[in-house]
Amino acid sequence: MNRKKILFIGGSLNQTTMMHQISRHLTGCDCFFSPYYADKFLDFLAQRGILDFCILGGKFKQDTLNYIIKNNLNLDYKGTKNDYDLVFTGSDLIVPGNVRMKKLILVQEGMTDPVNFAYYLVKYLKFPRWAAGTSTNGLSGLYDLFFVASEGYKKHFIKKGAAPDKMVVTGIPNFDNAAQYLSNDFPYKNYVMVATTDMRETFRYENRKKFILYCKKIAAGRQLLFKLHPNENFERAEKEIEKYAPGSLVFSSGNTNHMIANCDVLITRFSSVVYIGLALGKEVYSSFNIDELKELMPIQNGGASARLIAEKALKFMNDSIKNTGNIYKLPVKEKEAVNC
């Protein structure tokens, strides 16, 4: 019997590690991995470094390639080596032509961007989805199944126009077991933590001085710890923090979840890590409404999401049935891997 071939399209390290976790439960399949990619005009721009600020290039692409190599995963950049039976992706803002006719699985990456003017241009005037950022995730309709973090997020995506019968609530890897991060060797504790954004690097406005002073006010004399976004201009960010909040601890690398586990207060703007803080019962500040975030909170299922996604996707692939909702609601199984 021929082994099924599955392509996992990464992107950010968060997306790529999610895909890796799902693949571990598909041990009877041949799994291949690719950084996020596009075709036609966007591919032309990406190859020339013009899109290095996003997951199509630059540090995001290199980090994903490094992760694939370091973990001895099968690399198939742009999915050209095989005729795939199933494709997983963490974003449908861009769906390359070579996977549009494949069985396609979308996995929610985390928090989506707030709705803005560009979102309505996409929804009503048919601008390309990528123009509005992650606020339009799930709106392509090009996937067969969409695995989401919670019932709250299912309602959220339905409200935006995603098809209810394609969505399955499973929880999502990296956000379904916050308790595991409490056991760590990060040396600092009881600080006010700030998780910054890459808004400026992705051509969105942020008054960083105002934000730093806001964080300093919340800290009220307590130790501040800044964890910089991996896509940030570190040199610029460090100078700003030293100027407006001297004495702060600043980290450009390290395990963000361990830092959150050891903090007393977490301050974010538009970062998915806010869900780790909420799950661990931290005092949390965000540019989003906290009560709404609590309704959207990813399911905490002890880390079972990757296995659940693998099981349901495999059943879909083997049954070759699309858009039939309840058929994908399989019972939870004890086994750790799914045999293709």
* pLDDT score of 205: 85
The confidence band for 334, taking pLDDT boundaries of 50, 70 and 90, is: very low
Q: Which domains does the chain have, with CATH numbers?
A: 5-176+299-328 (3.40.50.2000), 178-296 (3.40.50.2000)
H helical segments located in 199-247: 208-219, 234-244
- Give the distance from CA 319 to its chain's centroid: 28
Choose between 335 and 171: higher pLDDT. Answer: 171
Mean pLDDT score, 34-56: 92
What the block records as the tokens of 270 is 């538009």
The confidence band for 1, taking pLDDT boundaries of 50, 70 and 90, is: low
The Cα–Cα gap between 285 and 293 comes to 11
Q: What is the mean pLDDT of the chain?
A: 91
The confidence band for 319, taking pLDDT boundaries of 50, 70 and 90, is: confident
Q: Does the structure show a pLDDT above 50 at 328?
A: no
pLDDT digits (tens, 9 = 90+) for 269-284: 988 999 999 999 999 9
Which helix H or strand E contains 7, and what residues bound it? strand 5-9
Q: Does the structure show a pLDDT above 60 at 198?
A: yes
The confidence band for 194, taking pLDDT boundaries of 50, 70 and 90, is: very high
The Cα–Cα gap between 268 and 220 comes to 17
Choose between 125 and 8: higher pLDDT. Answer: 8
Q: Does the structure show a pLDDT above 60 at 322?
A: no
pLDDT digits (tens, 9 = 90+) for 54-79: 889 998 999 999 999 999 999 999 99
**C-beta separation of 110 from 172 below 8 A:** yes
H helical segments located in 71-221: 117-125, 151-160, 208-219
Mean pLDDT score, 37-55: 92
The Cα–Cα gap between 232 and 192 comes to 20
Mean pLDDT score, 206-230: 96
Percent of the chain exceeding pLDDT 90 equals: 76
pLDDT digits (tens, 9 = 90+) for 92-142: 999 999 999 999 999 999 988 888 888 888 888 888 888 888 889 999 999
The Cα–Cα gap between 150 and 164 comes to 13
**C-beta separation of 129 from 92 below 8 A:** yes
